[in-house]
Amino acid sequence: MTAIAHEDVPAGRWLLRPPRPAEAAEALAMLTDRDVVQWNPAPAVVDEASARAWLERGRDWSSGGHATFSVVDPVSSRMLGNVSVHRIDREQAFAALGYRVAPWARRQGVATAALAAVSGWSFDRLGLARLEICHAVDNPGSCRVAERAGFRLEGTLRQSFVYGDGHRHDEHLHGRLRTDPVPLL
Ligand SMILES: CC(C)(COP(=O)(O)OP(=O)(O)OC[C@H]1O[C@@H](n2cnc3c(N)ncnc32)[C@H](O)[C@@H]1OP(=O)(O)O)[C@@H](O)C(=O)NCCC(=O)NCCS
């Protein structure tokens, strides 16, 4: 697969940029938040050293299989969240999206703006045609974010993923096509 070149992407009031090891303390606080542990488990991250390794993996786009961004406040440089384009398949023009927002940045439109921006970037810069989001049916906040960012609910996958509580959960599958209308934010 072809490596993806690092790029910053404007996302409304915020900025998406490749993760930086200096964000380790914020990443650790975000990844050990109760709701993130439940819905985006990253069990290998237990201290700043492992958080730094997680950021470095996110920063390494050389495989071409993912492009992972930190969502930051461009003024303070504070990390507010993380959004990832992963399972990138250029032949199928397909990828999946994942996201999490730090507790200190929630309910301000960060996830919606980040998803909308990374979707536009994936269509324009990676030439993708279809993007998917899966979230647990028991996570209605994530459902709202996906809908707000233009991802139509396409169906329910039965017991399709083991989440942080160790249980298999039903998931909603949302999809957005390059040809779908761009959401008004
Ligand atoms: C779910 C999450 C991503 C939302 O991020 P956010 O930046 O706070 O979301 P936004 O501010 O963009 O909110 C978008 C919409 O979702 C709604 N929303 C956000 N969190 C919600 C929640 N917990 N419950 C219900 N609705 C919620 C907002 O009210 C807003 O609705 P509106 O358009 O009607 O005003 C964030 O709370 C989070 O990371 N949670 C823990 C981990 C997680 O769930 N990750 C997603 C896994 S798929």
Distance 60 CA to ligand 1 centre (A): 27
1 pLDDT band (50/70/90 cuts)? confident
- Domains in the chain and their CATH numbers? 9-130 (3.40.630.30)
Ligand 1 contact via 77 beta carbon (within 6 Å): no
Record the pTM: 0.97
Query: What is the secondary structure of the chain as a DSSP string?
Result: -PPPPP--EEETTEEEE---GGGHHHHHHHHTSHHHHHHS--TT--SHHHHHHHHHHHH--TTSS-EEEEEE-TTT--EEEEEEEEEEETTTTEEEEEEEE-GGGTTSSHHHHHHHHHHHHHHHHS--SEEEEEEETT-HHHHHHHHHTT-EEEEEEEEEEE-TTS-EEEEEEEEEETTSPPPP-
Query: Tell me, what's the pLDDT at 184?
Result: 86
Which pLDDT does position 144 carry in this prediction?
A: 98
pLDDT tens-digit series, residues 5-33: 999 999 999 999 999 999 999 999 999 99
Q: What are 77-119's pLDDT values in tens digits?
A: 999 999 999 999 999 999 999 999 999 999 999 999 999 999 9
For 142-154, the pLDDT digits (tens) are 999 999 999 999 9
68 lines ligand 1 (CB under 6 A): no
Closest ligand 1 atom to residue 136 Cα is 48
Gap from CA of 126 to ligand 1 centroid (Å) = 26
Whether residue 176 has pLDDT greater than 90: yes
